[in-house]
Amino acid sequence: MKFDVLTLFPEMFNVFNYSIIGRAREQKIIEINVHNIRDFSTDKHKKVDDYPYGGGAGMVMQVEPIYNCVDYLIKLYGYKPHTILLTPRGKRYDQEDAKKLSNMKHIMLICGHYEGIDERIMPIVDFEYSIGDFVLTGGELASMVIIDSVARLVPGVLSTNISYEEESFYNGLLEYPQYTRPREFRGMKVPDVLLSGNHKEIEKWRRYQSLKITYLKRPDLLNKALLTKEDKKMLDE
């Protein structure tokens, strides 16, 4: 899968040289190309923003350098990738969106800055996403959140024995607690059932823990979760 990012701060994306995403890039399972919008400014001072028409505080990002960059990519690839704009006014991003995007072959992310982007950006935007009801200084961190959450769903990015099907949000519930060695740490013991070797009991315990944690921490998720008859019985108890 390919990602192309349009930003004024390309160095911020060096985070993707590390860890799981860094390895997936080396293995060519995913490709992340970062483009500096400033390189596409035709202004002699490489200006990319200007004062807002109608007055008001702050600067507005100009559309011309962004369109120039998009034109360059369309020429390079021979088509326009699905285009995402990161903005607080977008749809609140969630795991369902991550799944949807992970089925696409190529996405392009536009990171806004300053007080916003000239509204005439909209004809080239396919999806607007917000990563939460708060305002960031720019779209970079938001687009990193999207790239990371989408890339890890691409087959081969996570090692094969890790299953995203078991994790939080896969079936709408939060994940059960995990333990590793030692068996006892500062008086805190690993639950006996996990040492029992009884896989059926372990599975039951984990499901119960998932339900309990979701009920206590995020009861709103239970309405949407896929619950079995046994789950409902456990919740009633």
Given the rule CB under 6 A, which residues bind ligand ADE? 86-88, 112, 130-132, 134-136, 139, 142
Residue 112 is assigned to a ligand binding site: yes
Nearer to ligand ADE (CB atom), residue 107 or residue 131 = 131
d(CA 122, CA 210): 41
Instruction: State the CB neighbour count (10 A cutoff) for residue 207.
Output: 17
Instruction: Give strand ranges (E) for 100-145.
Output: 106-111, 127-130
136 belongs to an annotated ligand binding site: yes
d(CA 15, CA 29): 17
Give the nearer residue to ligand ADE in terms of CB position, either 127 or 205.
Answer: 127
Least separation in angstroms between CB 112 and ligand ADE: 6
Name which of 10 and 112 has its Cβ closer to ligand ADE.
112
- Please tell me whether 134 is known to bind a ligand: yes
The answer to the question of whether 40 is labelled as a binding residue is no
- Is 145 known to sit in a ligand binding site? no
Q: How far is the CB of 114 from ligand ADE (least distance, A)?
A: 11
Under a CB-based contact definition with an 8 Å cutoff, are residues 14 and 7 in contact? Answer: no
- Least separation, in Å, of the C-beta of 207 and ligand ADE? 33
Residue nearest to ligand ADE (CB): 142
Q: Could you give the C-alpha distances from 40 to 3, 107, 141, in angstroms and in order? A: 19, 20, 22
Going by C-beta distance under 8 Å and a sequence separation of 6 or more, which residues neighbour residue 133?
88, 92
89: tokens are 């006014």
Q: Hey, what are 65's tokens?
A: 């350098």
Alpha-carbon distance of 151 to 158, in angstroms, equals: 9
Shortest separation between residue 89's beta carbon and ligand ADE, angstroms = 9
185 is in an annotated binding site: no
Least distance between ligand ADE and beta carbon 97 (Å): 12
Nearer to ligand ADE among residue 22 and residue 116 (C-beta): 116
> Which CB sits closer to ligand ADE, 53 or 134?
134
Q: Which amino acid is at 175?
A: E
In this structure, what are the phi and psi dihedrals at residue 125, rounded to the nearest 5 degrees? -95, 130
Annotated binding-site residue numbers:
112, 131-136
Give the residue numbers of the binding site for S-adenosyl-L-methionine. Answer: 112, 131-136
